[in-house]
Structure 1
């Protein structure tokens, strides 16, 4: 059986079309398709060749992203003349934003990938979050935009990196009864600290999996319910002492928790520091 051909055509890398279509494909329980990606399409002749190739497939559909309206219009015209099915992903968005801002778009392909100030800020934030991960250096507490605290396996590190990709400088501090937390977390503004908690059942599950990956028996005290409850009780005392925001991550994806934190930062008017 021939696979349905899905063409992704762009005047740049084509990340937008790729992300949109792959996300939509998750809603269909089928693998009866083949993605055919065409990046950096710059001329009408290239569009002609792509449409001709799509016409040779038994079943084909073209999704395209062109920031130049002339190229988008040409693609649409060629699709209609070839009797193909096509979807313009960018043009409705560009038109809507143009109406909103009362401005004309720049129509420069790949402009979002240029090395600009935002890009370097993001790299800096990632490097910061790696440097001050897992309480390695308490000096990061005073330099960070946000400090995450919590017991082991509450997603502190992946959340730090995710937020760093949003240009947020994050330091994270593990909490466990045998070690006092850095004194700095009691001296900075409590609104800059986020406490992360997880359910005992979830912690038991993820810690057992962690022990397996380390080649250790799942019966180790690290994953034991008694130990988990002890740690959670200790962390709860610390968080109440600080008076910080607390998020239960037990039923949240990293993205959900990050969105909660970003919204919290906006509400609390927490600005991002410059290093």
Structure 2
């Protein structure tokens, strides 16, 4: 419509597009037709429901009209294996889902690694666990499912934020891992940083201390605990979503 109008607008003359959304019933449609007739307007429409298109075509025969949606749907019907849903407003629902996803991704970045405890109270899910249990990748994966996830590292020397203990246990998910695998993961991490693999961070003694501490915090909260040993992020996320939607708690899985 804008492209077409640009060919007609001239100095001293302005043509206007008047948008009329949410035309979902015949009564409202007839009001729109009467208004267009009173304004001497042309009608361009994207009505999905065949019955409404028929009413407009018959009752606005005296008005110039362009069916924008109908011919496109007819053409697609010739090449698609499925029938059209014929549900108005689907594109807006898709847009809404997209913006929820973007919001969730921004949330995961902002409240990653316990940077701001305030995120805990606003999160759909809070992921807790020791270092290198894939908390951040898990939160980002959940964000793409439109879940606002924050994560908090559990370190013996740093008390967890008090907000963590005020949440319903079902909103907190604890991640644990077999010490042998965590040892390998941390050694590889040290190598990528150019550090010696003998550092305390990757020592078995330190790992056992952290895992015991983390388990004590998780039990205090009463949250579900997922063993991520040899699990892909997608697999862990699937279990987290199952717990989230079913409200499970107090289970080792």
Q: TM-score, normalised by structure 2?
A: 0.64
What does 1:139-158 correspond to in 2, within 5 Å? 139-158=118-137
Aligned partner of residue 138 in structure 2, secondary structure? helix
Quick one: distance in 1 between partners of 2:76 and 2:224?
Answer: 46
Query: Does the 8 A contact of 2:170 with 2:243 survive in 1?
Result: no
Quick one: structure 1 residues 70 and 161, their matched pair in 2 at CA, closer, same or farther if it must change by over 3 Å? same
Quick one: distance in 2 between partners of 1:166 and 1:106?
Answer: 26
Map Cα deviations across residues 245-268 of structure 1 (whole Å, 9 max, x no partner). Answer: 100001211111111111111112
1:193 is aligned to 2:172: yes
Q: CA deviation at 1:190?
A: 1.1
1:267 is aligned to 2:246: yes
Residue aligning to 2:3: none
Quick one: distance in 2 between partners of 1:113 and 1:177?
Answer: 47
Residue aligning to 1:219: 198
Q: CA deviation at 1:112?
A: 7.5
Residue aligning to 1:183: 162
Quick one: distance in 1 between partners of 2:184 and 2:92?
Answer: 40
Q: CA deviation at 1:187?
A: 1.1
1:170 to 145, 149, 165: 149
What does 1:5-20 correspond to in 2, within 5 Å? none
Quick one: distance in 2 between partners of 1:197 and 1:245?
Answer: 11
Regions of 4+ moved over 4 Å: 111-115
Structure 2 gap ranges (5+): 1-74, 249-253
What does 1:1-275 correspond to in 2, within 5 Å? 68-72=76-80, 91=81, 94=82, 104-105=84-85, 116-268=95-247
Structure 1 gap ranges (5+): 1-66, 73-90, 99-103, 270-275
Count of aligned pairs between the two proteins: 172
Deviates more, 1:112-121 or 1:209-218: 112-121
Quick one: distance in 2 between partners of 1:205 and 1:164?
Answer: 28
Residue aligning to 1:17: none
Residue aligning to 2:71: none
Quick one: structure 1 residues 146 and 114, their matched pair in 2 at CA, closer, same or farther if it must change by over 3 Å? closer
